[in-house]
């Protein structure tokens, strides 16, 4: 696995480069947003670790630019504990996951591996669910309307569509959609669900959160 680490704190960079090297992860470091864009455009990285607080460009701006260029490399964002808004902005800008500083190295490693595995998995064929057709190219067709989805939204919606009508436990979503063998202890699923609900507004489908049980997607208005 090749990782691009974008972080301006040199001590953290040194510690992570050492730790990751022991796990046979190859790391390239960039210390500011400009250098990060240059490195991402090289296209070598399997996963990008992106600190949001950078000396030049904001991490979220870096992310927006690379997604606007159509770069789909998985991005794990590092944020400060109190930066809730920045975290939500980052997910909206196309981050796949986030970790709050300070974090345990083992958790960073597990998430990196999950992102790399997910990115390497073959894309699904189109999935036909009544009036909804989920295309493998990250779009959802609702009748004649086309909605662009992020890779995570696409994976999450695909999984819920396959299990439509069922109350899907969160643990199943963590494992099957996010590749976590553990409870990530964050609201990352809820943030992605909120985005999906927004994008599905007006479509004949509901996604309910059932407290303590899980998530249920149902098609409505006689759709099958
Ligand atoms: Ca920083």
Q: Render pLDDT for 12-33 as a digit per residue (tens, 0 to 9).
A: 999 999 999 999 999 999 999 9
Q: Is 109 exposed, middle or buried (0-12, 13-18, 19+ CB in 10 A)?
A: middle
Residues 110 and 13 occupy one common structural domain: yes
Mean predicted lDDT score pLDDT of the chain: 88
Please indicate, yes or no, if residue 23 is contained in any of the structural domains: yes
Ligand 1: centre distance to CA 114 (Å): 24
Please indicate, yes or no, if residue 134 is contained in any of the structural domains: yes
Q: What CATH number is given to the structural domain containing 141?
A: 1.10.10.10
Q: Is the pLDDT of residue 125 over 80?
A: no
Q: What CATH number is given to the structural domain containing 56?
A: 3.40.50.2300
Ligand 1: centre distance to CA 36 (Å): 13
Ligand 1: centre distance to CA 175 (Å): 30
Neighbours of ion ligand 1 (CB under 5 A): 8, 51, 53
Ligand 1: centre distance to CA 67 (Å): 21
Q: CA 117 → CA 47, 50, 85, 110, 143, distances in Å?
A: 10, 19, 28, 11, 32
pLDDT of residue 83: 76
pLDDT of residue 16: 97
Ligand 1: centre distance to CA 218 (Å): 42
Please indicate, yes or no, if residue 224 is contained in any of the structural domains: no
Ligand 1: centre distance to CA 122 (Å): 34
Q: Is the pLDDT of residue 124 over 90?
A: no
pLDDT of residue 197: 95
Per-residue model confidence as pLDDT tens digits over 156-168: 999 999 999 999 9
Please indicate, yes or no, if residue 11 is contained in any of the structural domains: yes
Please indicate, yes or no, if residue 94 is contained in any of the structural domains: yes
Please indicate, yes or no, if residue 66 is contained in any of the structural domains: yes
Reported as a pLDDT band with limits 50, 70 and 90, residue 185 is: low
pLDDT of residue 130: 84
Residues 112 and 144 occupy one common structural domain: no
| Overall domain count for the chain | 2
Ligand 1: centre distance to CA 52 (Å): 6
Q: Which helix (H) or strand (E) holds 29?
A: strand 26-30
Please indicate, yes or no, if residue 29 is contained in any of the structural domains: yes
Ligand 1: centre distance to CA 43 (Å): 23
Ligand 1: centre distance to CA 53 (Å): 4
Please indicate, yes or no, if residue 153 is contained in any of the structural domains: yes
Ligand 1: centre distance to CA 27 (Å): 18
Domain range holding 105?
2-119
């Amino acid at each position: 696995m090749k990782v691009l680490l974008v972080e301006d704190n040199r001590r953290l960079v040194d510690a992570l480069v050492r730790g990751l090297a022991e796990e046979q992860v190859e790391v390239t470091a960039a210390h500011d947003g400009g250098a990060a864009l240059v490195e991402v455009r090289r296209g070598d990285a399997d996963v990008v670790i992106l600190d949001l607080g950078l000396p030049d460009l904001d991490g979220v701006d870096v992310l927006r630019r690379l997604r606007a260029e159509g770069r789909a490399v998985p991005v794990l964002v590092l944020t400060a504990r109190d930066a809730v808004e920045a975290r939500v902005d980052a997910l909206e800008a196309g981050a796949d996951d986030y970790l709050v500083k300070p974090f345990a190295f083992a958790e960073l490693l597990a998430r990196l591996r999950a992102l790399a595995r997910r990115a390497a998995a073959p894309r699904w064929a189109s999935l036909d669910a009544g009036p909804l057709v989920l295309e493998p190219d990250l779009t959802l067709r609702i009748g004649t309307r086309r909605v662009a989805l992020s890779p995570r939204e696409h994976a999450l919606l695909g999984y819920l569509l396959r299990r439509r009508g069922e109350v899907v436990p969160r643990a199943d979503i963590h494992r099957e959609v996010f590749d976590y063998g553990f409870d990530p202890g964050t609201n990352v699923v809820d943030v992605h669900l909120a985005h999906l609900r927004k994008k599905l507004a007006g479509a004949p489908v509901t996604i309910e959160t059932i407290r303590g049980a899980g998530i249920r997607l149902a098609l409505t208005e006689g759709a099958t």
